[in-house]
Amino acid sequence: MKVIKTILKRKLNWVALPLVVLFLVTATFAPLLAPTDPSAVDLEQKLSPPSHSHLLGTDHLGRDILSRLIWGARTSMGSVFLIINLVMITSLVVGSISGYIGGKVDSLFMRICEIFLTFPTFILAMFLIGVLGTGMINVVLAIALTHWAWYARIIRSLVLSMKNREYILAARVVGTSHWQIFVKHLAPPVLAQLVILATLDIGHMMLHVSGLSFLGLGVQPPMPEWGVMINDARQYIWTQPELIMYPGLMIFLAVLAFNILGDTFRDSLDPDILAEEA
């Protein structure tokens, strides 16, 4: 309840929250909401203007734009959901072990993180896709691989700052095992901060997914994806600019909504994280 109160206090969220809900609902129920099959090719109907059967018209293969936009939400949200989960799990494991155990394990893990942070992210993601191959799962893997290190470093510093607090020491003194301490006392607060951080990053990751797909290195056609749709429509910019307009607007609105919502939580971040972020 407290969370909802914080969200509703900011006026911008009155716009962002319904948008986020809308996108999530669309993504979840895409098969029910889409009027037609998003991949159904009908060359006789290609590039047709809006009509009753195709509310937003059709693309260069006669596919229904509206259905593709709706399914695109599913692709976007789905891939970002997977990325966030992968990043959170990996960084939680690495960061906690590193921060809690310390010593040689810590310095080894942190070296590994440092190496990942040496590369420019988008370019490393491109390179990884070049090796793994294109497709949604590989994009998810590539983006997760290029982002986890930053999170792991933050989690490590959080765990470090927490592990010597009195309540943890007290738990040690009464003989609680390391595993119990981690599960009961360390993981919950760390996880809370991690979720906030991840919310801040959702928009950024969506841009990465659609950017790579736009380049032809991400989600592959005929799978409906907004970045792919923009790339498909690029040659029609002189005649049918709305083909580029719609999917771009979707990306923009989705990213904007998540960014505004994420920003609300920024104030509730641990100061340690804010310092690390800057």
Partner 1 sequence: MLKFIFRRLLTLIPLLLVVSILVFLILRLGENDPAMAYLRLSQIPPTDDALATARETLGLNRPWTVQYFDWLWRTFHLDFGNSYVTGTPVLERILYYLPNTLYLAGVAFLITIVLSLPLGVMAALKKDRIPDHLTRVLAFIGVSTPNFWLGFMLVFLFSVHLGWLPPMGKGGIAHVIMPAFSLALMSLCINIRLVRASMLEQMNSRSVLYARVRGIFEKWVVGRHIFKNSMIPVITAIGMHIGEMLGGAVVVEMIFAWPGVGRFAVSSIYNRDFPVMQCFILMMTVIFVCSNLAVDIVNAWIDPRIRYEGNN
Residues near partner 1 (CB under 8 A) are 12, 111, 114-115, 118-124, 126-133, 203, 207, 210-211, 214-217, 227, 230, 234, 237-238, 241, 244-245, 247-248, 251-252, 255-256, 259-260, 263, 278
CB of 132 or CB of 168, closer to partner 1: 132
CA nearest neighbour of 268 among 214, 200, 167, 176: 200
Contact of 244 with 230, CB cutoff 8 Å: yes
Output the smallest distance, CB 62 to partner 1, in A.
Answer: 22
Give the type of residue at 274. Answer: L
CB of 102 or CB of 211, closer to partner 1: 211
Q: Which structure tokens are listed for 14?
A: 């009155």
Output the smallest distance, CB 40 to partner 1, in A.
Answer: 26
CB of 26 or CB of 259, closer to partner 1: 259
CB of 186 or CB of 250, closer to partner 1: 250
Output the smallest distance, CB 107 to partner 1, in A.
Answer: 13
CB of 13 or CB of 45, closer to partner 1: 13
Output the smallest distance, CB 238 to partner 1, in A.
Answer: 6
CA dihedral of 274, 270, 153, 172, whole degrees rounded to 10? 160
* Residue 194, number of CB atoms within 10 A of its CB: 22
* Alpha carbon distance 168, 78 (integer Å): 37
Output the smallest distance, CB 127 to partner 1, in A.
Answer: 5
State the SS3 of 37-75. CCCCCCHHHCCCCCCCCCCCCECCCCCEHHHHHHHHHHH
CB of 81 or CB of 236, closer to partner 1: 236
Contact of 219 with 206, CB cutoff 8 Å: no
Output the smallest distance, CB 122 to partner 1, in A.
Answer: 3
Output the smallest distance, CB 245 to partner 1, in A.
Answer: 8
Contact of 44 with 62, CB cutoff 8 Å: yes
- Is the link from the previous residue into 18 a cis peptide, with omega within 30 of 0? no
* Alpha carbon distance 48, 63 (integer Å): 10
CB of 100 or CB of 226, closer to partner 1: 226
